[in-house]
Amino acid sequence: LEMEIISSLQHPNIVRLLDTGHDEGLDAHFIVMEYVEGISLGDLLYDREVDGALLPELAIEIAIQLCSALTEPHQLGVIHRDIKPDNIILTVQSDEQLAIKLLDFGVARVVDPHEKIDSAAARARLTATGGIVGTPPYIAPELCEGSFNASAKADLYAIGALLFELLTG
C-alpha cells in the first residue's frame, strides 16, 4: 500500500517513484526513481572547503520548498520519517531558479491520523525489526522515546532541526 501511494505523489519538489520490482535472480527488491541532476544538500553542507552556515535566504528557501513538498504526502497520510540533508537534492530549473527535490521515501509510513499504535504487532510493522527509523539528529524526541505514533509532526520537527543546521552551520 505504501509504495502505491508514494508512486502516486506528483509534487514538483518530490523525486517521482517510477517503478518497483523484484529481481528473481538476485532475490532483491528494487525501485526506479526519476533522475535529478544536482547536488545533495548533504554534499553541499559537509563537503565544502569552508564549513559554516548557508545564507539565510537560501536556508529559508530550502525550508519553504521542503514544507511545500510535504503537503501532498501529509494530506495522504504519508509520513516521510527520514528528512535529512542527504535526502534533499538541489537542482537548477530551466528558468535558473533553485529547486529542491525530496527523495527516499524508503522508510515512509502511511498513517491514519486518528490511529493509536500500542500493540507489539503494530510496532513490528513499522520496520522489519520493529526498531526506530530515521537519522538521529533529525528524529523527533517522541519517536526516540519509543512512541510509535508517527505523525506529520515528526517530519516538521526534522525540518526544524535541518533549518537550525542550515542557519548555524
Check if the beta carbon of residue 99 is closer than 8 Å to that of residue 13: yes
Own/partner pairs, 103-106, CB within 8 angstroms, 24+ separation: 103/14, 103/15, 103/33, 103/36, 105/2, 105/6, 105/9, 105/17, 105/73, 105/78, 105/80, 106/31, 106/82
3-state helix, strand, coil in the chain (%, to 5): 40, 20, 45
Q: Which of 82, 104, 112, 118 is catalytic?
A: 82
d(C-alpha 36, C-alpha 133), whole Å: 25
Active site residue 104: no
Check if the beta carbon of residue 102 is closer than 8 Å to that of residue 14: yes
d(C-alpha 169, C-alpha 164), whole Å: 8
Q: Which residues are catalytic?
A: 82
